[in-house]
Amino acid sequence: MVKIVATSLQASLDEAVRRLEREARVAGGIHHPNVCAVSDFGKLDDGRPFLVMEHLTGESLATRLGRERSLPIAVAMDFAYQMLGGLDAAHRRGVIHRDIKPENLFLIEIGLGRHLLKVLDFGTAQVLDTSSPYGDELTDTDRVMGTMAYMSPEQLKGVRDFDARTDVYSAAVVIYEMLVGTRPFGDVPSDRLAEAIAFTRAPSILHRLPNLAHPVARAIDTALSVDRTRRPADAAAFLAMLAAPPSPTSIVDRSVPEADPLQIISDWDLPTHQNRAQDDWDLVTLERDRRALVASNEDVLSIDVKIDREPLR
């Protein structure tokens, strides 16, 4: 798939070019099955830049939620694990996405009702690694970047020293929306939304979904803390909290057969397809199996689980 700047307005063109170059440099260095791969970047004869990305067939999470509003717990948690896996790959490289929302999460059907999720659009990303050859060019700390309904409190307050916890907050909003069908502040008028997000504690997800496993609810509520020091440090830490074994008294949703939100889906019964999506799904399930094995250990947060893949040639 080729992405080309199409605008004819110079101001818009300059911004679009800046975002496209940012996406090429940042996403091109992240190789993970849950991140849309970027394989090439250049300029057309007329000077417009282009970006070559892997071809994706499916729909955005926004489209899916627009049709179904909320998702079964098992499905929502599967998507949450994959989203955080992709963000973990970015965070390991010192990259903060800054615009996590359903529109930037793409679903590819791979059979048997299962989907591979891809994180898209690193056009507003911030690079924290100043040793990177393009780190200083891509920090862009003087502007508020993102989509208000999914922004973290510190983004809306204009804080400059971003870190991975801003993505953790946005990811928690997406997970909340997948499970409940509305965002934490979905009933707040638009003219008061920024203030509510920036200064108000989000309502516990258990108020909207009382049958959710309590450890999962606690992880989501913690990730939605206004004070970022109370949130998981990054996507890996948030994922570890979500995947922690529930206590025997935890409440889980039984409305859907085998809808345990902590169920680990095995790929052994999937049909074999010689395509990129299937290969990516295999890597995702392998990573999830590894996380499941370590989730019951006390040192789960210190275990380094990482899968890298070579870019397309």
pLDDT in tens, 74-91: 999 999 999 999 999 999
194 and 233 co-located in one domain: yes
Percent of the chain with pLDDT strictly greater than 90: 50
Domain region containing 70? 59-302
Query: Is 165 a member of any domain?
Result: yes
Task: Indicate if 47 and 70 belong to the same structural domain.
Answer: no
Q: Are residues 36 and 83 in the same domain?
A: no
- Among 9-13, 162-166, 273-277, 296-300, name the one with the lowest average pLDDT: 296-300
Same domain, 13 and 72: no
Same domain, 49 and 198: no
Residues 99-136 pLDDT 10s: 999 999 999 999 888 999 999 988 788 887 655 444 44
Position 93 in a domain? yes
**Residues β-bridged to residue 282:** none
CA distance 34 to 119: 6
Choice between 140 and 237, residue whose per-residue pLDDT is larger: 237
Number of structural domains, the chain?
A: 2
What integer pLDDT is reported at residue 121 of this predicted model? 87
Same domain, 117 and 187: yes
Of the residues 32, 53, 74, the one at which a domain ends? 53
H or E segment and range at residue 119: strand 114-119
Please check whether residue 177 lies inside any domain of the structure: yes
Task: Give the integer Cα–Cα distance in Å for 296 and 18.
Answer: 44
Q: Among 12, 36, 53, which residue terminates a domain?
A: 53
What is the domain-level CATH number for residue 169?
A: 1.10.510.10
Give the global pTM.
0.73
pLDDT digits (tens, 9 = 90+) for 201-250: 999 999 999 999 999 999 999 999 999 999 999 999 999 999 976 554 44
Quick one: what percent of the chain has pLDDT higher than 70? 65
Residue 38 sits in the same domain as residue 64: no
Helices (H) and strands (E) in the chain, counts: 10, 8
Asked if the structure places residue 110 within a domain, the reply is yes
Residues with catalytic function: 99
CA 61 to chain centre: 11
Residue 307 lies in a domain: no
Q: Is the dihedral of CA 15, 17, 20, 26 positive or negative?
A: negative
Binning pLDDT at 50, 70 and 90, where does residue 283 land? Answer: low
C-alpha angle 60-286-166 in degrees, rounded to nearest 5? 50
- 46 in the same domain as 19: yes
Q: What is the pLDDT of residue 298?
A: 42
